Structure 1
Amino acid sequence: MPISLFPALRPAALAITAGLAFSGLAMAQAPTSQLDTIQSRGALQICTTGDYKPFTLAKDGGYEGIDIELAKSLAKAIGVEAKFVATKWSDLLADFTAGKCDIAMGGISVTLDRQKRAFFSTPYLINGKAPIVRCADKAKYQSVADIDKPDVRVIVNPGGTNERFVRANFKQAKIEVFPDNVTIFDQILAGKADIIIAESIETKVQEKAKPGLCAVNPDEPLQYGEMGYLLPRGDVTFKAFVDQWLHLAKATGEFAGIYNQFVR
């Protein structure tokens, strides 16, 4: 009596059918990415402080800077327009996690504290904290130990990683918090403070912009650091898109062209 092969095939067929059904269910239940929301809205909303040259600077009712131009590039890659949302360093993470914007850009340092509440893009710059001082005092302030003395006045903008670095490393120096990150460098020239700690790239830009100020060892900063863009936590689809756009911007020279507009 012939033996039928069909019964032996039934379990495999059932497994395939079940697998396809499960895959379809998983796809149907896949969470919507912020990328979908952005495309439906027709606009990429970008939180930025507007006070951190050369990355973001409020000017003439708009913004300019490295990350402003890169934000426009990202929006174009998505196929939408760029809309900027004003924030400040002390409110940056709260505004972002509250959903006031899709992405935060503008010289944002990658930190583990921020990483707890948001994703970061692939870092786009290696940076670090460096002092900027009056040129006559440059030789005096070569290290943390040189700065951390009772007669040294350190001035810092509030709410960001600059303030955190200052408070973590300077226990004897006099620390003053100054609310305006645009005019803060003028306080050094006016003799009202001795040192500002900022990102090394920013100290280079301010050195060129304000005669009399000198960056101290900006190519050998006091602390290693990276910069990236804040993205919604858990949204791997949006992060993958931003990372790929950033990779292509660097590979094609677009990133370097924008960077050189504001730094060199």
Structure 2
Amino acid sequence: MSLKFFYLQLAFLFTIINFPLKAYCEKQSIPLKVCTTGGFVPFSSYANGKWIGFDIEMIKEFSKTSHFKYKVYNFNIDDIFQALNDYKCDLIAAGITITDERKKEFLFSLPYYSSGIVYMYKKENLEIDKVEKFEMLNSNKYKVGVKLGTTNDYFAVKYLGNTNITKFTDYSEVINAVIKGSVDYVIVDLSFASFVEKKNPNQLNYKLTPEDHELYGIVSRKNNQELINNFNKFLDKWKSSGKYEKILKKYFN
């Protein structure tokens, strides 16, 4: 291989990696690869042969205004960041909480949703219902359920170390565990708990924990600053247009 040809190849690779992703997708007709976590209602789920949810509609609107195609890929939350690093996706839209630790390795968009962490339990579980302080739940007499790899998982390990923690790989397993009584309560996001409680009004209840404020953002790799910039511009216009509020009411009212 000649030295000239080598430098030409190197320059081409540099262009692909650093070229604004939106423009590259348009030029090459390559769909933007979007990773999500199915089952995290009402943000992302798969039903009747298609993806639905707040995050899904948000990406759909983003693609329309930015003129690119996209394809959705499903990953468990504990695998999704590695998938991003491995270039199996270009961005993550899965109700991902923005944390300082995650920001060290990944790029986050501006927040598009505010939530919190709650504990959810069966209404008939009067012992849990009568707990006056969250700290009282940190006892080895309680069994707690969490979704593996989420901020709820990290929260439980940090604040509920005396309990018996069971980690599930699917959100449906988390809810089934508390409904069937195999755990005393579960740690979940406020947005998720609110949606599930409305679906099970006579069975479940939830209360806030000290972590009552979390912000969700779109995630990408450090070399995709242009993509995140484009999304932030879209988000600002989307909110100003009133369409954001319309979709918000659709999934959270």
Is the counterpart of residue 187 in structure 1 residue 177 in structure 2?
yes
1:125-159 deviation per Cα after TM superposition (whole angstroms, max 9, x unaligned): 12211111112335334543121111111001111
DSSP-derived class of the 2:121 partner:
strand
Using the alignment, how far apart are the partners of 2:147 and 2:56 within structure 1? 21
Larger radius of gyration: 1
Identify which of 203, 225, 235 aligns with 1:236: 225
Number of aligned residue pairs: 235
TM-score (norm 1): 0.83
Is the counterpart of residue 101 in structure 1 residue 92 in structure 2?
no
1:143–1:222 Cα contact (<8 Å) kept: no
Using the alignment, how far apart are the partners of 1:213 and 1:165 within structure 2? 21
Cα distance, 1:43 vs structure 2 = 2.1
Using the alignment, how far apart are the partners of 2:113 and 2:133 within structure 1? 23
Identify which of 200, 203, 217 aligns with 1:212: 203
Identify which of 32, 35, 55 aligns with 2:43: 55
CA gap of 1:245–1:141, structure 2 versus 1, over 3 A, is: farther
Using the alignment, how far apart are the partners of 1:57 and 1:141 within structure 2? 33
Using the alignment, how far apart are the partners of 1:81 and 1:126 within structure 2? 28
Cα distance, 1:235 vs structure 2 = 3.0
Identity %: 22
Aligned to 1:247: 236
CA gap of 1:86–1:60, structure 2 versus 1, over 3 A, is: same
2:78–2:148 Cα contact (<8 Å) kept: yes
Amino acid across the alignment from 1:91: D
Is the counterpart of residue 222 in structure 1 residue 175 in structure 2?
no
CA gap of 1:221–1:74, structure 2 versus 1, over 3 A, is: farther
Cα distance, 1:223 vs structure 2 = 4.1
The gaps in structure 1 that reach 5 residues or longer are 1-28
Identify which of 84, 87, 90 aligns with 2:78: 90
Aligned to 1:145: 135
Counterparts of residues 10-89 of structure 1 (less than 5 Å): 31-39=18-26, 40-89=28-77
1:31-81 deviation per Cα after TM superposition (whole angstroms, max 9, x unaligned): 312222222334222100112011001222321110011111111112122
2:76–2:169 Cα contact (<8 Å) kept: no
Aligned to 1:17: none
The gaps in structure 2 that reach 5 residues or longer are 1-14
RMSD: 2.0
Using the alignment, how far apart are the partners of 2:42 and 2:132 within structure 1? 24
Aligned to 2:146: 156
Using the alignment, how far apart are the partners of 2:169 and 2:69 within structure 1? 31
Judge which range, 201-210 or 33-42, deviates more: 33-42
CA gap of 1:245–1:53, structure 2 versus 1, over 3 A, is: same
1:235-261 deviation per Cα after TM superposition (whole angstroms, max 9, x unaligned): 332221100101111111111111211
DSSP-derived class of the 1:126 partner:
strand
Aligned to 2:99: 111
Cα distance, 1:209 vs structure 2 = 0.8
TM-score (norm 2): 0.86
Aligned to 2:167: 177
DSSP-derived class of the 1:229 partner:
strand
CA gap of 1:37–1:188, structure 2 versus 1, over 3 A, is: same
Judge which range, 228-237 or 192-201, deviates more: 228-237
Using the alignment, how far apart are the partners of 2:188 and 2:176 within structure 1? 14
